[in-house]
Amino acid sequence: MMDDLSGKTVLIMASDGFEEVELTGPRERLSQAGARVVIASPTLEPIQARVMDDPTIKVQPDVRIEEVDAGDYDALVLPGGVINPDHLRTNETAVQLVRDFDEAKKPVAAICHGPWMLVEADVLRGRKATSWPSIRTDMRNAGANVVDEAACVDGHLITSRNPDDVPDFCAAIGRALAG
């Protein structure tokens, strides 16, 4: 059970190709704890989830990334899936949002391949983080101290390895939001 997160607003940034449970898990758990959860995407078209490589559900974004102001949110969640962060890291507005949340010392939570956004935003130097195994070299090259933990917390930065870590990932986000 998470602390009461009433009054908190969380931004989940995703595009087509996100790993389903890495978006739906945090959205459901944070909402159940009372947080308002907003999905941002490059367009307002429904975005396609995947489980591993297979398409599953579609999710309706609430807002376009270009309309987001980090000052309106208490935390940022970055789901993985290979396609999703690889697409978002080419969107300068999305990358700048990661920097804005980090500079404001608001919780930034990335799971699986989601830390690619942290690499692109250049916010990993000297920080402890984890990810899906195949992007750990990218993280090391970006200056991270890479570890293998279900939910790695370094200040306001929260990272996790894979879909199996969603419960620990969500618990860490909840603790960070609860203060």
Look at the chain and count its residues.
179
The sheet carrying 47-51 orders its strands as: 18-19, 47-51, 54-59
Phi and psi (nearest 5°) for 117? Answer: -65, -35
Query: What is the separation of C-alpha 30 from the centre of its chain, rounded to a whole number of angstroms?
Result: 13
- Residues that are catalytic: 113
Tell me how crowded residue 69 is: count the other CB atoms within 10 A of its CB: 9
**Which residue in 125, 118, 122 sits closest to 143, CA to CA?**
125
